Chain A
């Protein structure tokens, strides 16, 4: 047993204290927002709410939950996130799996084709013109297709696949399994940790993204939650808001805005801590390049 000196113990506690402070800095903004969303307007107007709700009430949440605009946008975003995640994961497996076979002819060229897209991007306007020519502008598919494969994530998955012993697939080959069967029966079932990680990455990306909708989607009924939120925070009256809901330009009350922000954040905050073990692994694998 090592016995720590007093000064070392003091040092340990100093680091604990620093970490407590850092944690507080991380959560204070959320607590402040939560308090505001639960407070009554009277106190908010007087700037009396800091970290504890005053005049506790759930009115803001009731308004949010009874407004079809938010509910619809919420479920649309949930739907989008689920579809995007499934499509992207499938694409990622389809791309990563064949590339682990060193006997695959043309693998070098394919790898180069893929890597180039990581470093060189055509730019905003060429992408926009592409969407226009494909007829994807204002089409809900534009929120799914353009981002359905991340090369970065593909590399993470590929390095995970490399880690699966080759002997497994070789013995399956001898037993007469096709490459497709080997993928479905061996690689996909063994890759649950990396699948969980990448599912989280894709889902978070879709849930939090708003720039693609800002660029390509003019129909408010297909706005993802984050774009709706952007408009609300900046008091931008979309056509729909102005005509149907009749909001005036000063915008919504502070507590309502806070409630909407909470409402659109909570799903992710509920999910990520459970996947921590996996995504740490995923990030680390992404950094160690082949």
Chain B
């Protein structure tokens, strides 16, 4: 390669760039594929977000579509005026909050219980069994729930009837459905969720326990004064993640469990968007709903992170 004759510092700079690229070009080449993926599947869709502010038309390019009324906010106003959306919003928040209140502590409690087991092999078997539900799809879990809770033919209702009670509509009545939905969520996640806490517990200095034993602390004393404070940072980080996701909605779980009798409590934002948007073809309206959900989600996450820093814990970033 011939050197271009210019002033000295420029040559040096050019040379260093060239030698840098000569050494590092392979890394950029390797990165190009994942970045291309992110560009196409994560960033280009953001271009379509403007549909939320425009009147969707199937024959026009996104950029050419006319702006919606009310300075482009027509569809946001329409969404908040619609009972269906307000219902979906309410259900999303209520179900997520119940998941948080009931589902969040479950893995912690399970990890504490496992930690008290002194038979290693038995502990391992319990863990394997408890991780199992996490590997089942929501469709399968729903069909399992159906086999257990169906009125009349479900195992649980059979047992209730045999004991002289009357069959409980676990999946067909609003209040019972919510209970079943949350309960099944706990069933699916308590084992898997405990992995992180078990790792945190394993990281606690064992001398603390020995010192506490010498001082005569009992099992629950140690649990309360050593184990729980030891895993507190982990708990806080996961709590933040969950709080940030209070408006998030997974699709697979509610969609698998929904039926027409319980839509009043079961329809969440993701399933509302599917029904109204994909099935009902109201693209602008549901894009607006999706944008609202994403933006509020990010705000919640930022707030939760800020809160945890304020409380003296480390944030998630």
Contact = CB atoms under 8 A, between A and B. Distances in A.
A113 B33 CA distance: 14
Interface in A261-290: 261, 264-265, 268-269, 272-273, 276, 279-280, 283-284, 287, 289
A256 B113 CA distance: 38
A62 B117 CA distance: 43
Contacts of A16: 117, 119, 122
Contacts of A233: 139, 142-143, 146
A109 B2 CA distance: 33
A32 B117 CA distance: 28
A186 interface: no
A30 B144 contact: yes
A68 interface: no
B175 interface: no
Contacts of A44: 153
A88 B50 CA distance: 30
A47 B37 contact: no
Contacts of B278: 124-125, 128, 215
B15 interface: no
Interface residues on chain A, size class = 35 or more
A174 to B, nearest CB: 13
A229 B138 CA distance: 11
Interface residues of B, number: 94
B19 to A, nearest CB: 12
A193 to B, nearest CB: 15
Contact of A19 (B26, B40, B117, B198): B117
Contacts of A55: none
Contacts of A12: 116-118
Contact of B42 (A122, A254, A261): A122
B137 A127 contact: no
B102 interface: no
A127 B256 CA distance: 21
A227 B291 CA distance: 27
Main secondary structure of the interface of B (DSSP, over half): helix
Interface string B262-306: 000000001001100110000100110111011001100100000
Interface string A70-107: 00000000000000000000010011011101011100
B136 A265 contact: yes
A94 B140 contact: no
A32 B136 contact: no
A211 interface: yes
A108 interface: no
A104 B237 CA distance: 30
Interface string A111-139: 00110010111111111111000100000
B147 A125 contact: no
Contacts of A254: 153
Contacts of A134: 40
A22 B28 contact: no
Contacts of A32: 144, 147-148, 155
Contact of B153 (A15, A25, A47, A117): A47
B114 to A, nearest CB: 7
Contact of B130 (A26, A97, A98): A26
A189 B128 CA distance: 27
A119 B146 CA distance: 34
